[in-house]
């Protein structure tokens, strides 16, 4: 068995390996692999490894990340490192290779001066944590010194055929319409949107929104809640036309051709509790449906009851996995 850095031309074999490891639950394609790994701002070609047998067949894959540009106000997170994904053949050889890659990744992160490592939740993450059903991953992570937390973060899903904005939500919006409005973000709104995010969600949500705006042709898939000239809420939506493959549509192959997604969503602290968060969510889902989606997901949340109000149900579950080095 040999461990080496990923080389140009390895991608098809990595995708095949990933597919054999977890393709049914997390089907990876080259567009997403390139976005989240090879073209991500935090990608380091020295931190992406494969293990292969003597015949050159891939047995395992892993990549690690450290911040290479500030995540908004969270900055460079100099003590934090991540292992972004681990894929391996589901046999003894594959497990052995995965163990070696985990050690390789941990050593690299240690050499980078990292004090804490998480599995998943990295910038341009694939996973918020370790998926609940990935018991072999959990076993490998535990063996490598990780603690798997009890807390569960979830992705949610909903069919859209029967979806309509509930009447009481429309009525609430009507009641508040002189003060508040919900609409698509226009290029002219972008400075106010970024000001709002810097004020209310200055870390990763600010960072990810700014990054998304760099690649999309238009900001219209971000819905905004406005109060006069001010932006006081935001909601990312995704669909087939989106350039950025947002986390809610990572696993779009499972959602079907007419896929959609939503999140993050957030309101200014002072605006919460008036039914406007629910209204923005409902209008976001309506917008996604209007773009042709028939099935959509909401990623990485623990607000099951909030999204459950309009029929979203749990789809995927993840546990936090971390260790100190």
Ligand X SMILES: CC(C)(COP(=O)(O)OP(=O)(O)OC[C@H]1O[C@@H](n2cnc3c(N)ncnc32)[C@H](O)[C@@H]1OP(=O)(O)O)[C@@H](O)C(=O)NCCC(=O)NCCS
Q: Report the nearest approach of ligand X to the CB of residue 296 (Å).
A: 15
> Contacting ligand X (CB under 6 A), which of 162, 167, 188, 305?
305
Is residue 232 part of the contact set for ligand X (CB under 6 A)?
no
Is residue 47 part of the contact set for ligand X (CB under 6 A)?
no
Strands, DSSP E only, in 89-203? 116-119, 130-131, 147-148, 153-159, 180-184
Residue with nearest beta carbon to ligand X: 277
SS3 323: strand
- With respect to ligand X, which residue has the nearer C-beta, 219 or 284? 284
Which range binds ligand X by CB under 6 A, 20-28, 183-191, 248-256, 275-283? 275-283
Compute the distance between CA of residue 53 and CA of residue 58 in angstroms, rounded to an integer: 7
> Contacting ligand X (CB under 6 A), which of 276, 282, 296, 297?
276
Which range binds ligand X by CB under 6 A, 36-44, 46-54, 218-226, 276-284? 276-284
Which range binds ligand X by CB under 6 A, 32-40, 56-64, 153-161, 301-309? 301-309
Q: Report the nearest approach of ligand X to the CB of residue 26 (Å).
A: 20
Going across the sheet that includes 2-5, the strands are: 2-5, 48-52, 58-65, 80-88, 116-119, 321-324, 147-148
Is residue 172 part of the contact set for ligand X (CB under 6 A)?
no
Among residues 260, 247, 244, the alpha carbon closest in space to that of 211 is found at: 244
Is residue 102 part of the contact set for ligand X (CB under 6 A)?
no
Spatial CB neighbours of 108, under 8 Å, sequence gap ≥ 6: 46, 47, 64
Q: Report the nearest approach of ligand X to the CB of residue 274 (Å).
A: 5
Spatial CB neighbours of 240, under 8 Å, sequence gap ≥ 6: 257, 258, 259, 260, 291, 292, 293
- With respect to ligand X, which residue has the nearer C-beta, 61 or 300? 300
Strands, DSSP E only, in 54-125? 58-65, 80-88, 116-119
> Contacting ligand X (CB under 6 A), which of 134, 209, 301, 322?
301
Q: Report the nearest approach of ligand X to the CB of residue 153 (Å).
A: 9
- With respect to ligand X, which residue has the nearer C-beta, 49 or 180? 180
Q: Report the nearest approach of ligand X to the CB of residue 177 (Å).
A: 16
> Contacting ligand X (CB under 6 A), which of 4, 115, 272, 313?
272
Compute the distance between CA of residue 177 and CA of residue 180 in angstroms, rounded to an integer: 5
Contact (CB, 8 A) for 97 and 114 = no
Is residue 4 part of the contact set for ligand X (CB under 6 A)?
no
Q: Report the nearest approach of ligand X to the CB of residue 197 (Å).
A: 12
> Contacting ligand X (CB under 6 A), which of 13, 95, 303, 314?
303
From residue 197, give the alpha-carbon distance in Å to each of 29, 74, 182, 210.
31, 13, 16, 10
Q: Report the nearest approach of ligand X to the CB of residue 200 (Å).
A: 8
Binding mask 247-266 for ligand X (x = CB under 6 A): -----------------xxx
Compute the distance between CA of residue 210 and CA of residue 280 in angstroms, rounded to an integer: 20
62 has which bridge partners? 49, 86
Chain-centre distance for alpha carbon 298: 10
> Contacting ligand X (CB under 6 A), which of 101, 154, 267, 297?
267
- With respect to ligand X, which residue has the nearer C-beta, 141 or 231? 231
Strands, DSSP E only, in the chain? 2-5, 48-52, 58-65, 80-88, 116-119, 130-131, 147-148, 153-159, 180-184, 222-227, 230-239, 259-267, 295-301, 313-319, 321-324
Residues that bind ligand X (CB under 6 A): 264-267, 272-278, 301, 303, 305-306, 309
């Amino acid at each position: 068995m040999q461990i080496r850095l990923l080389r140009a031309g390895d991608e098809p074999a990595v995708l095949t390996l990933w597919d054999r490891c977890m393709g049914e639950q997390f089907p990876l394609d080259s567009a997403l692999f390139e976005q989240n790994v090879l073209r991500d701002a935090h990608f380091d070609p020295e931190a992406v490894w494969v293990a292969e047998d003597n015949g050159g067949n891939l047995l395992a894959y892993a990549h690690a990340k450290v911040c290479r540009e500030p995540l908004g106000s969270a900055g460079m997170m100099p003590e934090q490192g991540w292992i972004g994904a681990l894929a391996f053949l589901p046999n003894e050889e594959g497990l052995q290779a995965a163990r070696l890659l985990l050690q390789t990744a941990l050593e690299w992160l240690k050499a980078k001066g990292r004090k804490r490592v998480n599995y998943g939740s990295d910038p341009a993450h694939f996973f918020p944590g370790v998926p609940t059903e990935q018991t072999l991953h959990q076993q490998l992570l535990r063996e490598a010194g990780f603690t798997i937390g009890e807390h569960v973060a979830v992705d949610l899903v909903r069919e859209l055929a029967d979806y309509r904005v509930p009447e009481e939500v429309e009525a609430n919006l009507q009641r508040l319409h002189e003060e508040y409005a919900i609409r698509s973000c226009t290029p002219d709104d972008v400075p106010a949107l970024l000001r709002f995010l810097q004020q209310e969600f200055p870390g990763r949500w600010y960072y990810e929104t700014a990054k998304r705006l760099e690649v999309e042709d238009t900001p219209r898939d971000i819905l905004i809640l406005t109060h006069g000239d001010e932006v006081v809420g935001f909601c990312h939506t995704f669909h087939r036309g989106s350039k950025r493959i947002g986390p809610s549509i990572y696993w779009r192959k499972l959602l079907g051709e007419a896929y959609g997604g939503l999140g993050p969503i957030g309101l200014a602290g002072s605006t919460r509790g008036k039914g406007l968060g629910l209204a923005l969510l409902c209008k976001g889902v309506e917008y996604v449906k209007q773009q042709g989606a028939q099935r959509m997901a909401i990623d990485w949340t623990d607000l099951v009851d909030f999204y459950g109000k309009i029929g979203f149900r749990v789809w995927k579950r993840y546990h936090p996995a971390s260790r100190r080095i």
